[in-house]
Amino acid sequence: QFRTISCYSRFAAKGPDAKIEQWQMDTQDLLQSRHEKGTLKRLFVLIDSRHGCTHIDSAIMGWMDDAGVPYSIVLTKADQTSIPEVIKHVNEFCMRYASTSQLQEEGAVTQSPVVHVTSSKNRWGLNELLMSIETEFISHG
């Protein structure tokens, strides 16, 4: 049995800064405790390919790296940007993975080397993403 949880990033959140900060800390605490209990196997971080990796996305990935929470990158809306732009974003994530894995001395790298490129409109990459999710849960029992 698995569950999916959708969380908005701080980028999408609206409200007073103090409330957004508290929401962010609560979300991190929730994810950390679920990971420590073994109920959170992997996060799938959805990133809009029209914008690429924002500073908020980088901060979230940095937090997950520091917390040891495994995650995979999913580029969404690939049909709404050019193929060279999508390739550029994929390369940036792959380079981030490579540099993180070279710097990592203890423990495992938390970012998956696989970057999923998807389009719900054109159904690109959805079967591969679903197989990846299924494999993740099968491999962790």
The tens digit of pLDDT for each residue in 58-94 reads: 888 888 888 888 899 999 999 999 999 999 999 999 8
Q: Could you give the percent of the chain with pLDDT greater than 70?
A: 82
Instruction: Provide φ and ψ at 115, rounded to 5°.
Output: -110, 120
**Structure token digits, residue 53:** 């990796």
CA-to-CA separations, 131 to 67, 72, 92, in angstroms, rounded: 26, 13, 24
